[in-house]
Amino acid sequence: MAKAAPAEQLKLLELQGLDAKLKSLSNRRRTLENDPRITDLEAALSVANGELGAAKMAVHDAELELKRAEADVEQVSSRIQRDEARLNSGTGLSKDLMALQSDIASLNRRLSSLEDVELEVMERLEGLRERQSAQQKIVDDIQGSFAVIRAELDAALGEVDHEASAVKGRRAEFAAGLDAGLLAIYDKTLAKRGVGAARLFHGKSEGSGMQLSPGDLAEIKAAAEDDIVFCPDSGCILVRSAEWS
């Protein structure tokens, strides 16, 4: 059975306290990194960006449609102007001029129809641009909320890292003064069990929170003071003291 002076074993409780603090800080960091608000905002931002992309595409398509409508209006308007110029010149046969008048009337009806289409597209485009602007505001608002929460979490993470660094420094300094063999057993137990050492307090293991069976308790009490004993339930080192019997 491995051995270490009782006074050295008592020091393990302080070391365990430092390791428990580091574990708590690690859990705190994990909680901050997995803040559900970030997950919710990322999901909302993904949806909002998708809708913004669709709104932009609708505006783009409507702008192309408006350009085509404007081109159609311009084309018919230019032809009317040319035909009216020919008609006003009075040159040509009478029947040709009459046919030209008929064409101009037809073109004006066509122009009126095209201008109605152009106006409808312009009105629809205005609505689509308003929708895009509103959706952009939603995206901007979500990104603003994200930035605020991210800054808050980054500040909290910075505090956790600062405290963890200080605790690690104290732990390293304290561990350097411990018996090397005892420290090696403690570190191995901590890595395997999650708890390196705990008190045996009035027959109860503070490592497991369980009262030891009479048989286990008798066996531990029979061990020498410098024997390193372990909790039968949690597997951690049990630190004993006459004051806690």
Query: Which CATH number characterizes residue 76's domain?
Result: 1.10.287.1700
pTM equals 0.73
Q: Which residue type, as a one-letter code, is found at position 82?
A: R
In a domain, residue 232? The reply is yes
Residue bearing tokens 């959706």: 135
Q: Which of 50-54, 138-142, 170-174, 241-245 has the weakest average pLDDT?
A: 241-245
The burial of 147, by beta-carbon neighbours within 10 Å (0-12 exposed, 13-18 middle, 19 or more buried), is given as exposed
Residue finishing a domain among 175, 198, 229: 175
Q: Are residues 73 and 151 in the same domain?
A: yes
In a domain, residue 133? The reply is yes
Q: Which of 91-105, 112-126, 209-223 has the weakest average pLDDT?
A: 91-105
Q: Are residues 69 and 186 in the same domain?
A: no
Domain, as residue range, for 88 = 35-175
Residue bearing tokens 């020498």: 224
Total domains in the chain come to: 2
Residues 6+ apart with CB under 8 A from 56: 132
Spatial distance between the Cα atoms of 200 and 211, rounded to a whole number of angstroms:
9
Q: Which residue type, as a one-letter code, is found at position 110?
A: R
Spatial distance between the Cα atoms of 36 and 102, rounded to a whole number of angstroms:
72
| Alpha helix stretches (DSSP H) within 90-213 | 94-176, 180-193
Token pair belonging to 93:
């046969």
Beta carbons of 204 and 211 less than 8 angstroms apart: yes
Q: pLDDT confidence of 244, banded at 50, 70, 90?
A: confident
Residue bearing tokens 């308007």: 77
Q: pLDDT confidence of 90, banded at 50, 70, 90?
A: low
Q: What pLDDT is recorded for position 245?
A: 75
